[in-house]
Chains A and B, each alone.
Chain A
Amino acid sequence: MKRSTFFQFAAPSIFLMTLLMVIPLIMAIWLGMNFITFRNITEPEFVGLQNYIDVLTDSRFWSAARFTTIYTAIVVPSRMVLGLAVALMLDQVSKAIRGVYLSFFLLPFIIVPIVGTLMFKQLFEASGLITWAYRVIFETRLPYNEGTVKTLIMLHGIWYVTPFALVTYFAGLQTLPSDLLEAASIDGANWWQKIRGIVLPHLRSLTILILLISIMDSYRIFDSIFVLTNNLNPVFKADTLMTYNFSTATQFQRLGKGNAMAVITVIGIMIVLIPNLIQSYREQIEER
């Protein structure tokens, strides 16, 4: 394909992405250097790097960053181990039943995150099923404090994204090299040896991809925590970067500071992402 034809075909997409992603990103960096509230939203007042300094010296920002990191460090590996375990078991079941199981497993992933969170929350309402079960089993009320609320948030995080890892791993298992597995069986390898020697190496590249996507998604988690704990996040010290960013912008009306925080978060994401980008770049250059 000629260069000019390429640009003709890709023009609408490139135009839209430039207009609504590249330009807004530059705007975001610039707006982060302004003092803006809802009152002067059309006439921002330039304050230089003040907002960026404000964010970096804000203890609540660092506490949110800490919780986001802990959340990611616990939720992402649990999700992947659970997903892999279920995928391995699903692989053992006959084809007809698989489809039925899969449609149930997919449910938490396909429904609207807000709705899924709301449904999850219903279990823990004063008249909820788990609240009741807890009271029956431990004969005391389910306490809501920093520890339990954070645990709940993480349980929900595991609940609703495990299907993604599960389905991806399951698809990866379908492409296992069967000749290698047969050879291993003939040599008398047991189940665990086959898993370690053949299955895990085969899933290595998939694992890296799931890991990257999961880290990025839990880094920018917003919707579900916003609904799960609503205005109570500060009480339970359960603010994530995104929810604190949102309340800085809406509740405290410091839109400029909010934008500066978003830009700093982007820099944080890029630190994780850039090695991957460089690698994809090399792959693409080689491929052509």
Chain B
Amino acid sequence: MEKTRNPIAKVGIHLFLIIFTIYSILPFYWTTMQSFKTLKDANSRTPKFLFTPTWENYQELWLKSVPENGYMIMFFILLAVVLLICMALFAEQFPWPNWVTVGAVLLGFASILWGIPEVVDTAEFYDYFVNTIIVTVGTVVVSITIGCLAGYSLARYSGYAAVVILIAALGFRALPRLTFILPYYQIGNALNLLDTRFLVILTLVAVNQPFTIWMLRSFFMDIPKELEESAMVDGANRLMAFRKVIIPIMWPGIISTALFSLLLAYNEFLLVRILTQTNWTLPVAISRYTGGEDPRHLTLAAAAAVSATIPIVIVILFFQKNLVKGLAAGAVKG
């Protein structure tokens, strides 16, 4: 709509938006503050807005013992991460093909992730963090791979079977997780897969699949048929045409869908809680800090909550446009 010219209305709108911003971020602000307080400051009945910030909550959460040259180790880890991100950003500039750079960056991140416990004495929370990354990445990769194949074929095949699958998927998307919990437990028990990441990833992919195929299908529908048809006239078979012609222009849609899979896997609580005893992910680990007898739950929980939020905020900062686009296009349809 055209914008208002009335100055009073303009001021009013900004005022309202600022109040809504405060309303949206108040819990984040407060929790971040609490996470930097000592237990005594955090428990003060009159909130302390001015206090000496301390890292001790984060230290207790992530480390069993504090290393002597902690700052140097942290500096080198940060340096390595920044280098890897720069490499990923400038992948196009290198003389070798892109996938070499991408592979090297991924390998670099994996070795940092697994290397840290060799150098520093990390606490359990770090293990849950690594576990969460494995489960999330695994879910996204499997779910997007099989989802792309299905979404593409659903966009191109107009037979009755496709309609039936789409409608069934829509129905299954609405079902609560609790319906599947005991059957999943029984299946995991029978196959001896309980407490494995494999089972968690597989069930997360399945639970997420209806949404994924609907969203990817809607993106594939926007790509004209003629593209792969001309490639197939030139002698490529359908799978080759799909890989070489369609996938390269699908990246924006794939990234949008992948973001939603990532949020789902990173956020899942119920499935992980029931299907694992030790291989927890962050939501299950964090839920243990809520409402305990232990008075430290206040500050430790705050530090844990902030720690779990930062990776997601970083991902979203990079891909906010894709997320908004996905919400607007696919999420609504699915």
Contact = CB atoms under 8 A, between A and B. Distances in A.
A103 B317 contact: yes
B15 to A, nearest CB: 10
A167 B327 CA distance: 7
B180 A118 contact: no
A92 B4 contact: yes
Contacts of A1: 153, 156-157, 238
Interface in B226-246: 238
Contact of B206 (A20, A86, A122, A173): A20
Given A206-B332, A255-B182, A285-B163, A115 B283 contact: yes
Given A106-B320, A112-B282, A113-B269, A13 B150 contact: yes
Nearest to A42: B189
26 contacts: A1-B153, A9-B152, A10-B149, A12-B146, A17-B172, A17-B206, A21-B206, A21-B210, A41-B189, A104-B24, A110-B323, A111-B308, A113-B269, A116-B27, A118-B286, A118-B301, A129-B30, A181-B1, A213-B332, A220-B177, A220-B178, A222-B177, A222-B178, A259-B179, A277-B171, A284-B166
A110 B263 contact: yes
B312 A12 contact: no
B118 interface: no
Interface in A71-129: 86, 88-93, 99, 101-108, 110-116, 118-123, 125-129
A285 B283 CA distance: 41
Interface of A: 1-3, 5-10, 12-14, 16-17, 19-25, 27-28, 31, 36, 41-42, 86, 88-93, 99, 101-108, 110-116, 118-123, 125-129, 132, 159, 163-164, 167-168, 171-173, 176, 181, 185, 191, 194, 199, 206, 209-210, 213, 216, 219-220, 222-223, 226-227, 230, 242, 245-246, 249, 255, 258-259, 262-263, 265-266, 269-270, 273, 276-277, 280-281, 284-285, 288
A262 B176 contact: yes
B157 A3 contact: yes
B320 A103 contact: yes
A114 B281 CA distance: 12
B169 interface: yes
A119 B287 contact: no
B224 interface: no
Contacts of A269: 174-176
Nearest to A171: B328
A281 B263 CA distance: 29
B269 A132 contact: no
A112 B312 contact: yes
B38 interface: no
B219 to A, nearest CB: 15
A111 B309 contact: yes
A171 B175 CA distance: 27
Nearest to A127: B43
Contacts, number: 299
A104 B17 CA distance: 11
A234 B46 CA distance: 31
Contacts of A273: 171, 174
Contact of A132 (B28, B46, B147, B165): B46
A13 B290 contact: no
Given A104-B25, A122-B302, A132-B46, A28 B316 contact: no
B21 A105 contact: yes
B256 interface: no
A262 B178 contact: yes
B17 A288 contact: no
Contact of A122 (B27, B163, B185, B333): B27
B97 interface: no
Given A20-B184, A92-B4, A168-B327, 13 more contacts: A1-B157, A12-B145, A21-B172, A21-B206, A92-B1, A112-B286, A115-B309, A122-B302, A128-B30, A176-B1, A222-B177, A258-B178, A266-B175
Contact of B183 (A7, A27, A107): A27
B27 A127 contact: no
B131 interface: no
Given A92-B4, A120-B27, A242-B176, A171 B286 contact: no
B290 A28 contact: no
